[in-house]
Structure 1
Amino acid sequence: MGEVLSQIWSRATASQPAPEPAIVAGIAVLALGLVLVPRAWTVTRHLVTISHEGGHALLAVLTGRRLVGIRLHADTSGVTLSRGKPTGLGMVAMLAAGYLAPAVAGLGAALLLAGGHSLALLWLAAGWLSLMLLQIRNAYGLLVLVLCGAAAGLASWYLPGTTVSLLAYLLTWLLLFAAPKPVLEQMAQRRRGAARGSDVDQLTRLTHVPALLWELLFLLANIAGLVVGFLVLLPIPLG
């Protein structure tokens, strides 16, 4: 067992060379297409939902709330339930974390890739999905997490380093490009009067800050994460 753990640690902490900038840019274009093309988005949006609900769950634990469970649905929606004080900073932080989580995760992934740790990124993804599995409370959510976690784990263990790097960059670009889109969808739903009971509605009720300001804050934060992530993954040469 000790030898296996040592091998896992050695693989997870090893550095992998970054792809050529042209390849990184090509992966970015592919990821953007997977976000913008409606049929592809119905699949890739699950990645955002996992990040969104994972953000809620993490902040619930960090703020001292009792995490009750997570549900992921076939329509790409999700819900995270926790128990604790229904008002206050902890509740606000937990609600706000959902729309910020994909961009934060994408930016963190970009920093790992900048350090040559594409394999570690996939291991971390598999580990985080495994932790979420302990809190999943519906069959569809269980299936999604098992498939995603198994894909990340098997890819990181069996695929060559070059392929692992390509997958890690694709995952990172997807998170960065996809992060602003649910906020735009939320804003569109609000214009149609179909956004009642959302995270933004709850934040408005708790803080008395208008929903539009919350939505603009989330949108600007996600765009900022995309810009910074872009500069990390494809730095602009000076001079």
Structure 2
Amino acid sequence: MRTASGATLDFGRLALLLLLMGASWYFWYSPVLWPVKVLVVMMHESGHAIASLLVGGSVDRVHLQLNEGGSCFSRLPPGVFNRVIVSSAGYLGSAVAGAGLMLATFRFRLGRAVMGAASVWLAVMGFFYAGDLFTLAFCLGMALAMGLGARFLPTGLVDALNLFLSAFTALYVIFDLRDDLWNSAVRAQSDAAILASETWVPSIVWAALWTLLSLALLAVSAYWAMHAKPGGGVKLPPVARARRV
């Protein structure tokens, strides 16, 4: 399969992506994956925080919880539009993070820079916005791990870890949307319920909109990330030719 730019489907990348998603699904309840789940929760809360700043508001604090919960407390300028943007930025922010990881790592070959940027992001969230000791320790610990990985790990392993994070994030977003927005009891306490009270648009409509946008974003980014640009693969060093005597 070839795109308009001439990029072709990289079956190796696709197979690895599907393998990682399958492994994540199979080991979903393993405690080994707990730090990655909390990391995705931080992506969600960071989406709220960034949106709050973009609309001219401020962020008081961000909390992460051991049970994979999270919250972002911010102050917003008055207006329904600001509330819509900030409330929508949680679920969509997680989808944007997963999509960005895939595209930056495999479409633009920026895997090491992405891991370094993630380290800086976590350090900033920890130092400036952590609202409790656990959130601070988690952010700084993950920032240190990612910083060391970006500095010392081989490029291939960095790419593999980024792909795992993007695959896991995509899967978590899907499960999160299903559990939070399509469960009526949970939806009544979710961001969708907040917007329903602000806009008079039913929470189920917001749930459907966020689900469609998130899935579309992840699908498009996966499509582009799994297609290698012509000549964009890993290049081996040239082999020196022996001189004739």
Q: TM-score, normalised by structure 1?
A: 0.82
Assess, with a 3 A threshold, how the Cα gap between structure 1 residues 21 and 155 changes in structure 2: closer, same or farther.
farther
Counterpart of 2:20 (choices 18, 25, 30) is: 30
1:115 aligns with one of 101, 108, 118: 108
Alpha-carbon deviation of 1:89? Answer: 0.9
Pairing of 1:99-138 with structure 2 (within 5 A): 99-113=91-105, 114-133=107-126, 134-138=128-132
| C-alpha spacing 1:187/1:90, structure 2 compared with 1 (3 Å) | closer
Aligned residues: 216
* Aligned-partner SS, 1:81: strand
In the alignment, the residues of structure 2 paired with residue 82 and residue 54 of structure 1 have an alpha-carbon distance, to the nearest angstrom, of: 11
Higher helix proportion (structure 1 or 2): 1
Contact kept in structure 2, 1:24 and 1:233, CA below 8 Å:
no
Cα distance in 1 for partners of 2:18, 2:125 equals 28
Relative to structure 1, is the Cα distance of residues 208 and 112 closer, same or farther in structure 2, using a 3 angstrom cutoff? same
**SS state at 2:66 partner:** coil
Q: Determine if the alignment matches structure 1 residue 205 to structure 2 residue 187.
A: no
162 and 42 in structure 1: CA distance in 2 versus 1, 3 angstrom threshold: closer
Distance 1:187 1:60 in 2: 22
Q: Which moved more, 1:105-114 or 1:72-81?
A: 105-114
Distance between the aligned counterparts of 1:25 and 1:227, measured in 2? 15
| TM-score in terms of structure 2 length | 0.80
Separation in 1, partners of 2:83, 2:223: 33
Contact kept in structure 2, 1:31 and 1:177, CA below 8 Å: yes
Say what the alpha-carbon RMSD is for the aligned residues. 2.2
Q: For the pair shown, which has the larger CA radius of gyration, 1 or 2? A: 2
Deviation at 1:106, TM superposition (A): 1.6
SS in 1 for 2:63: strand
Deviations 1:156-189 (A, max 9, x none): 1111222112112212222223222211001343
- Does the 8 A contact of 2:103 with 2:222 survive in 1? no
Query: Any stretches of 5+ residues in structure 1 without a counterpart?
Result: 1-19
Q: Is 1:160 matched with 2:154?
A: yes
More displaced stretch, 82-91 vs 148-157? 82-91
What letter is aligned with 2:131?
R
Q: Is the 8 A contact 1:70 1:135 kept in 2?
A: yes
Among 70, 81, 89, the residue aligned to 1:89: 81
Specify the SS of the correspondent of 1:80.
Answer: strand
Q: Alpha-carbon deviation of 1:44?
A: 3.3
Aligned match of 1:5: none
Instruction: Give CA deviations for 1:15-48 in whole Å, capped at 9, x if unaligned.
Output: xxxxx74255224422343245441465532122
- Aligned positions of 1:1-239 closer than 5 A: 21-22=11-12, 25-35=15-25, 37-40=27-30, 42-85=34-77, 87-113=79-105, 114-133=107-126, 134-190=128-184, 193-235=185-227
Question: Aligned-pair distance for 1:223?
Answer: 1.1
User: What is the deviation of 1:68?
Assistant: 0.5
Distance in 2 (CA, whole Å) between partners of 1:35 and 1:90 is 35
Whole-angstrom distance in 1 between the partners of 2:116 and 2:109 = 14
Gaps of 5+ in 2: 1-9, 230-245
2:7 aligned residue = none
